[in-house]
Amino acid sequence: MNIELFLAETISSQVNHLFDLATVPTDIILQKTKKEFEGDYTLVTFPFIKAAKLTPEKTGELIGAAILKANPAITKFNIVKGFLNVSLSNTFWLSEFKSVVSTKDYGVKPALSSGKQIMLEYSSPNTNKPLHLGHIRNNLLGYSVASILKTQGHDVIKVNIINDRGIHICKSMLAWQLLGNGETPQSSGLKGDHLVGKYYVEFDKAYKKEIQSLLEAGKTKEEAEKHAPLIIQAQEMLLKWEANDSETINLWKTMNGWVYEGFDVTYKKLGVDFDKLYYESNTYILGKSVVQEGLLKGIFYKKDNGSICIDLTNEGLDEKVVLRSDGTSVYITQDLGTAIERFKEFPDLNQMIYTVGNEQDYHFKVLFKILEKLGYTWAKECYHLSYGMVELPEGKMKSREGTVVDADDLIDGMVDTAKQTTEELGKVEGFTTDELENLYRTIGMGALKYFILKVDPKKKMLFDPKESIDFNGHTGPFIQYSHARIKSILRKYGTDVASISINDSIELHDKEKELIKHLYDFAKILEESANTLNPAVVANYIYDLTKVFNQFYNECPILKEENIAIKDFRIMLIVATSSIIKNGMLCLGIDVPDRM
């Protein structure tokens, strides 16, 4: 039941009768009663005082008395400075709880029931370096949003666009060609993506030396950066690649192959996957043809230097190059081709979401505006899921300088920290060696994922590995441990919970009622999280639910409760709690163990 609508119907009917109004239930705004006041839901009476011709307090008294008489689910009310706080009966909350506990996967709508198809792009790595901490936030955010959207019955297509061509790729290739001496992942013992990333860093080091030499020779910084031999060679390699030079293409395929094998290992560690992969090497040509079509239509224009541009100054943007003077494409060229190809490939697509960091906010404004000007009506259904950068206590990361936090190293470090913390707390008894290894990975990855996803995507965040794994803090391990505690209670209970029936005459403890109210909210939380594309809504809800459970656990005996009806009810209450904790954490890509 939608409780707010249920109450709004009663309130709307009564204020219409009392004050000769014509409100409808959707006009009635209710909010949860603040913890410091008695009540379940609160109505602000100020919108009705003009019609009532009374003070807010008197208006509230009239409305409260009327709805108390009209609706047996309402047991009492109180007025606090014009705010009408309404309390609902034990019977009502028990009925709602029965609905929650009897509904399989409560809050989750049937698969494909919405009729809406959404494509969600995330990861988008470059094949010149391994994944790092910034990529981890991208992947976890994209995967989680996809999972949450599926709970609303949407058909979600998870895609990854591989940035496998361009000047940055050529930099790694050139450095390996000049400095690699035939080094391979097998000969070096390095993961393929790490090996290629090593040469990206080597290129930058050598390039900076050349720039410094040119500066000392009297060149300006701009001249030095433009005329350094290495950058000229890299640009020539890109032209050879686009001309399909066989030697260049073979080197490109070999090094990209190394990188893909490395990426697959990291994606498996992260627990993320994709339904379809796109490669910029396939889509950039499509973008070029789009530019030529736009040129013929007068949407784009050619400058004296031969580059093709679009003027978006009237749209509050700038002039944008869509094709370089030498005929090579830029990022926007590739993105135009990719977007058009996707909507052709999936004609039923309702929305396209790009999970990309906020440093690309301007890029996507330009992309969507160009698509709109080219006449694609679906351009308005394209959305940039922008997120803030991740920093460490030590500061920002820089790929070219090799100062990034490698994703593999971070993941392995989290697992090691989980092992150390778990052993220090003495939580390792009764596990086999394999079970312990799985437990450490589950805790470590839960800590990493939760710490990142509990933060609103729009916010820049500071990732502190040590803080993330605190078993008593606002962390994944705290939630995982609470879930394991529930499972331990259920194992000790030992009886099949399917046989339990809930007694309607139970008088609810305040903590029982509070827990029921939190459980009921899960469906709305999933909906809000999906609508806002914000996993932090789910993450923080699950943390709050876990805190309420622990308060209930400390005040309400379960296995030691002598009243059988109350004990059985409390068992069903923790069954529902464990189910929602598990499903909520799965929306974040996090497993919760049954034992810790």
CATH number at residue 317: 3.40.50.620
Based on the domain organization, do 150 and 233 belong to the same domain? yes
Which of these ranges, 65-74, 271-280, 328-337, 562-571, has the smallest mean pLDDT? Answer: 328-337
Residue bearing the bigger pLDDT, 51 or 283: 51
Instruction: Locate the DSSP E strands across 312-462.
Output: 319-323, 351-357, 382-387, 390-391, 461-462
Q: What is the mean pLDDT of residues 423-427?
A: 83
Instruction: Tell whether the model's pLDDT for residue 426 goes beyond 90.
Output: no
- Its domain, for residue 365, covers 122-391
Number of domains making up the chain: 3
What's the pLDDT band for 394 if we cut at 50, 70, 90?
Answer: low
Q: What is the mean pLDDT of residues 586-593?
A: 98
Based on the domain organization, do 207 and 127 belong to the same domain? yes
pLDDT in tens, 274-314: 999 999 888 878 889 999 999 999 999 999 999 999 999 99
Output the pLDDT for position 397: 43
What's the pLDDT band for 329 if we cut at 50, 70, 90?
Answer: confident
Output the pLDDT for position 188: 97
Task: Please say whether the beta carbons of 119 and 145 come within 8 A.
Answer: no
pLDDT in tens, 512-522: 999 999 999 99
What's the pLDDT band for 102 if we cut at 50, 70, 90?
Answer: very high
> Domain boundary residue among 32, 62, 88?
88
Instruction: Tell whether the model's pLDDT for residue 400 goes beyond 70.
Output: no
Based on the domain organization, do 421 and 375 belong to the same domain? no
Output the pLDDT for position 427: 73
Per the domain annotation, does 311 fall within a domain? yes
Dihedral sign from CA coordinates of 188, 191, 196, 201: negative
Output the pLDDT for position 582: 98
Rounded to whole angstroms, the Cα distance separating 111 from 118 reads: 13
Based on the domain organization, do 276 and 331 belong to the same domain? yes
Based on the domain organization, do 387 and 423 belong to the same domain? no
Output the pLDDT for position 68: 98
Which phi-psi region, left, alpha or beta, contains residue 403 (left: φ > 0; alpha: ψ -120 to 50)? alpha
Instruction: Tell whether the model's pLDDT for residue 84 goes beyond 80.
Output: yes
Based on the domain organization, do 434 and 382 belong to the same domain? no
Alpha carbon of 15 to those of 11, 55, 68, 447: distances in Å? 6, 15, 13, 50
Based on the domain organization, do 133 and 67 belong to the same domain? no
Output the pLDDT for position 401: 47
Based on the domain organization, do 179 and 265 belong to the same domain? yes
Output the pLDDT for position 203: 97
Per the domain annotation, does 428 fall within a domain? yes
> Domain boundary residue among 351, 375, 391?
391
Q: Which two tokens stand for residue 524?
A: 């709305």
Output the pLDDT for position 1: 83
Instruction: Tell whether the model's pLDDT for residue 595 goes beyond 90.
Output: yes
Per the domain annotation, does 97 fall within a domain? no
pLDDT in tens, 543-577: 999 999 999 999 999 999 999 999 999 999 999 99
pLDDT in tens, 349-366: 999 999 999 999 999 999
What does pLDDT average to over the chain?
A: 94
Rounded to whole angstroms, the Cα distance separating 330 from 207 reads: 22
CATH assignment at residue 64: 3.30.1360.70
Buried b (16+ CB within 10 A) or exposed e, 251-267: bbeebbebbbebbeebb
CATH assignment at residue 545: 1.10.730.10
Based on the domain organization, do 142 and 82 belong to the same domain? no
Output the pLDDT for position 120: 98
What percentage of the chain has pLDDT greater than the value 90? Answer: 89
Based on the domain organization, do 359 and 421 belong to the same domain? no
Based on the domain organization, do 284 and 179 belong to the same domain? yes
Per the domain annotation, does 70 fall within a domain? yes
Per the domain annotation, does 145 fall within a domain? yes
Based on the domain organization, do 292 and 249 belong to the same domain? yes
> Domain boundary residue among 38, 68, 88?
88
Task: Please say whether the beta carbons of 571 and 97 come within 8 A.
Answer: no
How wide is the angle at C-alpha 243 spanned by C-alphas 241 and 248, nearest 5°?
35
- Residue 408 CA to chain centroid, in angstroms? 20
Per the domain annotation, does 409 fall within a domain? no
Rounded to whole angstroms, the Cα distance separating 366 from 107 reads: 38
Per the domain annotation, does 26 fall within a domain? yes
Per the domain annotation, does 107 fall within a domain? no
Output the pLDDT for position 271: 97
Buried b (16+ CB within 10 A) or exposed e, 109-124: beeeebebbbbbbbbb
